[in-house]
Amino acid sequence: MADITLEKFTNEEYLDFSDPTIDAAQKQALDQVRADFGKEHDLYINGEWIKGESGTFESVNPSNLNETIGSFQMASTSQALGALDSAWEAFETWQYVPAKERADYLLKAANVVRRRRMEINAWMISEAGKNYLEADADTAEGIDFLEYYAYEAIRLEDGMPVKDSWGDANKTIYMPLGAGVSISPWNFPFAIYLGMAAAPIAAGNTVVAKPAPDTPKMGHIVAEIFEEVGLPKGVFNFVTGDNIEVGEALTTSPKTRFISFTGSKAVGLHMAEIAGKVVEGQHFLKRLVCELGGKNATIVDEDADLDLAASEIVKGAFGFQGQKCSAGSRTIVVESVYDEVLEKVVEHTRALQVGDAKDNLASGPVVNQKAVDKIMSYIEIGKGEAKLMVGGKLAKTDNPGHYIEPTVFADVDENARIAQEEIFGPVTAFIKAKDTDDAIRIANGTQYGLTGAYFSKDPKKIDKALREFRVGNLYINRKCTGALVGAQPFGGFNMSGTDAKAGGRDYLLYFLQPKSMTLRPSEGVGMNLKEFEYSKS
């Protein structure tokens, strides 16, 4: 029997911005959205656009701090909890909508994203500081999440395969959990926000989705899209506001059935504490899905293609200014080729141009001043722990923005702070290894386990890395970033999260609960349990 998910699903291709026509179209879209800078944007609760009760806040262009993307509502605690109530009300009917109908909403939304693709890219370039390709990859991944989860919902509606027993008819179905909360990060502000909402919705749940304060416009666009495709009111709710007043109120509520979170380890551990604490009025254990940080390593063995390795190291370390949980912040090189790889990486890094994201340079700004302060503090720590090879200072640009030069440290001790702690910026630490075994040992020597890359031409060494390099996503002879939905399900081990594998077969199961049902035939009961479908009420 054909697999409906993998048969129908195809990853969205990235746009080729080396094509002058496509490049010009993106620049035109940038000009168009700039004309809409500074406007006020409302909350979207229970199918209505409403003002926040706690004022507004501004989203600022990190490439040019003189430009305001827009102002957004500060929801009050009562509004946030009201959104959760609306989600539960919508759940009463949404849970029984057949998977094919739920999927149709997501597939229609994917087509709206395609139609608005250049516009979405332009807002993301402006609000998050991504260059054209990074923004387009984010948008394309959003399309992938919508379509993949739509097909997965249809597949899972058949339930879990079980057998009949001793005359009893048996069936196991997957039921949605209820209403939950999604809290997403700023670094993939469209794809992750959209995917974290779309997955539970596809599975029959309802969601209150809070975007990161630095990138609320992306969440606002998602709300517009779901409204356009006619998603029933209350199924999706867009709420912006204070992390404590809104985020804490939603996650601690006894009505929150699940918490889906992507962000820092510190906040993720706090979410785990919240999910593990049962409060008055709570009648279930909260389901927690979280994807946290990484201290990802790229290993270069002595027999590797060194030119390829150097090029991929720079892409993995400095793509989107290293602001990816999958970024290659450690580079572990076997000592016989260490100096050569270091020299090549430094040369590539020096060639990176830093500037305004709208100019489509290799390196744009980091997200905000807090990020600048944190990254620069780690660079100062690095200067005392290792040898600074390139970068290490604020970049000089035409605009007032959050710019840091891509930075490489050499001769870093494996236990140094810049080798152990997540920096989340354009910094990579070179560590020398004695051999393959030593390199893998060093790579595994952190509390994280998200992504990794290994470069070698030796099948035996590659086999060893595949077995012993303990990360959720391992790449051989390519960079450690850029997982594709349906191809490389994404999530990590240890302190990198629950390894829920976004964009993979298991992900929707986190938002479902299996129910086993048994019918013993008796006189006068003509029901066929095999034909029972939860979604038909």
Return d(Cα 185, Cα 195) in angstroms, integer. Answer: 12
Pairing of strands 493-494, 448-449: antiparallel
Structure tokens, 191: 């794809």
Respond yes or no: is residue 290 known to be catalytic: no
Return d(Cα 353, Cα 456) in angstroms, integer. Answer: 29
Return d(Cα 42, Cα 34) in angstroms, integer. Answer: 19
Choosing from 12, 119, 157, 291, which is the catalytic residue? 291
Respond yes or no: is residue 325 known to be catalytic: yes
Return d(Cα 486, Cα 503) in angstroms, integer. Answer: 5
Structure tokens, 506: 């298991």
Report the alpha-carbon angle 237-226-214, nearest 5.
Answer: 60
Structure tokens, 177: 């959990």
Dump the DSSP string for 210-225. E--TT-HHHHHHHHHH
What are the percentages of helix, strand and coil residues in the chain, rounded to 5? 40, 20, 40
CA separation (Å) from 164 to 380, 520, 532?
Answer: 66, 10, 15
Choosing from 127, 290, 325, 405, which is the catalytic residue? 325
Q: Which of 13, 296, 7, 253 is nearest to 141 (CA)?
A: 13
The 3-state DSSP class for residue 117 equals helix
Kindly state the DSSP code that residue 523 receives in the 8-state scheme.
Answer: T
Return d(Cα 163, Cα 161) in angstroms, integer. Answer: 7
Return d(Cα 330, Cα 295) in angstroms, integer. Answer: 7
Catalytic positions are 291, 325
